[in-house]
Amino acid sequence: MNNYLLTLCFDGSDYHGWQVQSNALTVQSRLQDAIEQILGVRESVTGCSRTDAHVHADMFCCNMRTQKEMAPNKLQTALNAVLPRDIAVLSVREVPLDFHARYDCTGKSYRYLILNRTVRDPFLEKRALHYPRQIDTAALNCEAQGFLGTHDFSAFCASKSTVEDKVREIRACSVQRNGDLVEFYVEGNGFLYNMVRIMVGTLLEIDSGKIEHGVIPYILADCDRTKAGVTAPAHGLYLHRVYYE
pLDDT single digits (tens) 227-241: 999 999 999 999 999
pLDDT at 159 over 90: no
Q: Angle at which helices 27-39 and 72-82 pack, to 10 degrees?
A: 120
Q: Are residues 78 and 196 in the same domain?
A: no
Last residue of a domain, one of 69, 94, 119: 94
DSSP state of 24: B
pLDDT at 162 over 80: no
pLDDT at 60 over 80: yes
pLDDT given at position 163: 84
Q: How distant, in Å, are the alpha carbons of 71, 161, 170 from that of 164?
A: 41, 8, 18
pLDDT given at position 22: 85
Asked if 52 is an active-site residue, the reply is: yes
Question: Model confidence over 112-144: pLDDT tens digits?
Answer: 999 999 999 999 999 999 999 999 999 999 999
pLDDT at 56 over 80: yes
Q: Are residues 120 and 226 in the same domain?
A: yes
Q: Does residue 37 contact residue 91 with C-beta atoms inside 8 Å?
A: no
Q: Are residues 55 and 114 in the same domain?
A: no
Residues 179 and 226: their CA atoms lie apart, in Å, by 33
**Residue at 48 is within a domain:** yes
Domain with 181, as residue range(s), is 106-244
Q: Are residues 123 and 232 in the same domain?
A: yes
CATH code at position 191: 3.30.70.660
Q: Are residues 186 and 127 in the same domain?
A: yes
How many domains are contained in the chain?
2
Average pLDDT over residues 57-81: 97
**Residue at 53 is within a domain:** yes
End-to-end, the C-alpha distance of the chain in Å comes to 23
In the chain, % of residues over pLDDT 90: 95
**Catalytic residue chosen out of the listed positions 11, 52, 86, 222:** 52
Check residues 86 and 159 and name the one with the higher pLDDT: 86
pLDDT given at position 185: 98
**Residue at 79 is within a domain:** yes
pLDDT at 225 over 90: yes
pLDDT at 9 over 90: yes
Q: Are residues 63 and 173 in the same domain?
A: no
CATH code at position 16: 3.30.70.580
Q: Are residues 218 and 120 in the same domain?
A: yes
pLDDT at 164 over 90: no
Q: What are phi and psi of 218, to 5 degrees?
A: -75, -35
**Residue at 235 is within a domain:** yes
pLDDT given at position 161: 75
pTM for this predicted structure: 0.95
Q: Are residues 111 and 23 in the same domain?
A: no
Last residue of a domain, one of 66, 94, 122: 94
